[in-house]
Structure 1
Amino acid sequence: MRPASVTQRAMAVSLALILISCGTTRYSTAGPTGPENLARYALIIKPRAGGQVTHEWVTLKDFDMATLQLAMHPVTINRDIVRVSTSDSELEEYCEGRRLQCEQDCLTSSRPFLVDWRKYIDTQVQPWRVARYAWCPKNCLDAKVDCTKRRGKWYEEYSPSFQAIAPAIDWLEEHHTELLVGTVVVIAGVAFTVVVAASGGGVLALAPLVLFAEASR
């Protein structure tokens, strides 16, 4: 996962001030009624005193759209999209699928194959065409173990994807300090992008990805 750039950090601070200045009267208490109008809202996750975390929905029409679009312009989507399982069984299934594909691709590769961060380098001791039959299964399995323990590149490439709104809110409130600007979270089929990261335990803000397309027109 790459750290946010200086431009992104500056944008995040500016946008955080914008969001805070919107005032509580602009927030929707009800929020979206379902996936059909989810893209009309931004989501704000806020820490409270005593370690509590709350969320608020903001209708897009209540944003200063010109300021928001200028702030969002320098944001780029992370290539390494952070993916976090909604359940241990889903994560296990994903990691095992990656292991099987890894082993197949590794064994058929004519040159040392990159597995997560691992790569065979002892070619002078034993050529790759021989070493791969032992090296590939072992290292693909090690990468799978890391993945199930929520570590490594495979795990970072497994993104939050939720079929319902409530579980997504619960997950975001629990993990709000872990997401970077540009991270994509899919809620009930609608893609949201982190536009303000909760560094230092501050505000986390997510806006519908469609805003990027509209801002670039």
Structure 2
Amino acid sequence: MGGTVRNNLHVAANPSRFESDHCLFPGAESDCDRSFFTSAGTQFIRVLRSESVPFELESEHFDGAVKVIIPRVFPDDRGFFMETYRKDMFTSLGIPYDFVQDNHSRSARGVIRGLHFQWDQPLAKLMRVTVGSVFLVAVDIRKGSPTLGQWFGLEVSAENKRQVFALPGFARGFCVLSDAAELQYKCTALYNPRGEGGILWNDPEIGISWPTDNPVLSEKDKKAWSLREWLELDHANHFIYP
């Protein structure tokens, strides 16, 4: 594979310490953190909100294969209301896919889940956090990709209400920053345990700047492939760039 895993760019030493570029939801009394980290080319997008626009496309990464979306929030003295998904609006944002399965996980502080993907019945994911806060990561594992081995990460929380969409061909994972966190995600294919795979969370050729050096891991995630091992498998031919 020599030389195909590209060096990281714009990598923060400590994801828990970053400068904020804050945004204010229309009508909201508090702002939300917009900062994130990436080792891949990033396109920053600012979509001005209006009364008729329920979602903002905050940024795109890996030529649009990974997108960050923020819903419009309507707060009042009872709490708040927001739409979390609308097929017509997501189609207009470049996400025209049908979701067929929803999943919900709860994890304690310091847990890392990932980096996961499904090569048989490849699936895209739309991910959001409903309790707590996580550092969410996507890694390009597509053979022949100019950004192979590069990663994107950002804080996603119940407070900032970000959603992250990632196409097949990306290994995804997260680290819990709060005492507990619940992550919900929509999938474009049904779960297939015989077709799932994983990349080692601390693969040095990827070099993710996780907010912990001593995470809580499942036995399966401890034994995940390195990126180099993955690319040597026939399974990797399911994810060919472009």
Bin of the TM-score, shorter chain as denominator length: under 0.3
What's the TM-score, normalizing by structure 1? 0.26
Larger radius of gyration between Structure 1 and Structure 2: 1
TM-score, length-normalised on structure 2?
0.24
Greater percentage in helix: 1
Larger relative strand fraction: 2
